[in-house]
Structure 1
Amino acid sequence: MRKRKSQAEFVKWFGPVLDALRELGNTGKPKEVCEKIAEKENLTEDFLDQTLKSGTNRFENQVAWARQYLIWEGLLDSSVRGTWKLTERGRNTNLDYAAAHKLFLKWVEINQKARKTKTKEEIIEDQEEDSPETIEIPAEANLLSVLKSLSPKGFENICKELLREHNFEKVEVTGKSHDGGIDGYGVLEINPFVSFKVIFQCKRYEGSVSRSQVGDFRNSMLGRAEKGIILTTGTFTKEAEKEANREGAPPIELVDGNKLVQMFEKVQLGLKPKTVYEIDLNYFEKFKE
């Protein structure tokens, strides 16, 4: 039985990819980046000619995976097809092997949570043998996994960004640990004459938010805002939903994991749209005769 890998060979190219792009003026074609790395690292022809079982060039595939991890980390911009480009962070980031390996482990864990049928070792093995384009990760599952992997402070701050993208103004995170469950506040302008002060709470949950938690949040809201929002990566119990909409009480807007994903998708916050083509077999039938 073949021993599964606990690390990937392509990690060693994280730093060289950044270095190569800097030398190329912060942008470059894949072939240019590979050639620059080969030149700087004095790679032999024998090494550069190695192929995977699929026939794909091994070195070029490893560099492609290095690029993918750097994109996930926000060091490369993938918005222009066929061109690799450093982001502002990427231009100012240098990675030695230790830093690259730490980055690698972070994203392997995120991917493993998104692809629950795969172990970390199996994911690494897949990446060693296949190109980034052939391995798909469900966007919804991956987004929630990424959000759950954030620190509590990080989740609060990304919720702040999300509300801003949805036209909230003056959005701030309180940064206080004992503020009655209030994590931040903002203003939502309905029209030039009407606006609401809103407070929000962020719960990076696996499970469900309970009725009592909604009630406690409302009590903290009284006298401080006209409306409240609870955002969670989890769900809400039926009793929590009833409490949020209880007649005669200030309304609480509930945003569960599914709605949270939809909100991110609507404004494309941290997400890039991808076009997928399906073959129209009927079109090709007439050319078989």
Structure 2
Amino acid sequence: MTKAKVRQAEFTKWFGPLLDALRDLGGSGRPKEATDRVAKNLNVPDSVREEVMKSGTPRFQNQVAWARQYLVWEGLLEDNTRGIWTLTDKGRNAKLTDDQSRQIFLKWVDIFQKARKDKSKAEIITEQEEEEPDSVEYSYTPGLLEILQRVTPSGFENICKRLLREHGFENVEVTGGSHDGGIDGYGTLELNPFVTIKVLFQCKRYKGTVSRSQVGDFRNAMFGRAEKGIILTTGTFSEDAKREASRDGAPPVELIDGQKLVHLFEAIELGVKAKKIYEVDLKFFEPYMEKKL
């Protein structure tokens, strides 16, 4: 009897390009640097980069993260928790074709499926395409981003006010219902004992994508009133919005998307509690698994 063919996951096409991207970056890079370099090298269109999953996470970003996870299991990238993706000695010289990437994928899906007999291979692949690599437990507990998307708009503004204060801002105030030209609040930040700047911020609590025009409108509202602007959202920013935020000759606007927002909460453990868990090291057990015939 012929075995049923395991369908291909989309993220395998980023295995080789991710290795190439990290080589371009000198052997290591932060997740955003590596993801941006993959997109640049392959001219990934904005429409692909801006597509989001049900969770609100950009699908392209999540796929590259899953590519990284498989390359870690395969020993081509280091497994570290410092937020830096780093090539191993094995990975520095590895060049992967699409077929080689698929073989790596099938090998680890097989190992993963044997470790979780309650799930079929097809179910595991589907879950990986819709979940983030650090959520492989698949047990449902509302995540921080989901909770932030449930609070009221005014509640989100006040949570952002608290977050800014915890990260060193002073004199932080929410403007209330006036929404003066799109400005939801302001504060000051001491850069050093001699320099303090005024910052205006805008809060967007939704799952959508913030557009270039929205960034431009916010900048127009802050023009002449502050040295810096911040937009915080539980959603994402379009690629045009990112380019607009850093456009030469215009006041800079910092963009805090949903994922970065979560990291900012976690960094100071605001509204979250640290929890130590143990995750099975599948690579360790690989030599002891039943070999395929």
Normalising by structure 2, what TM-score?
0.48
Higher CA-based Rg: 1
Normalising by structure 1, what TM-score?
0.48
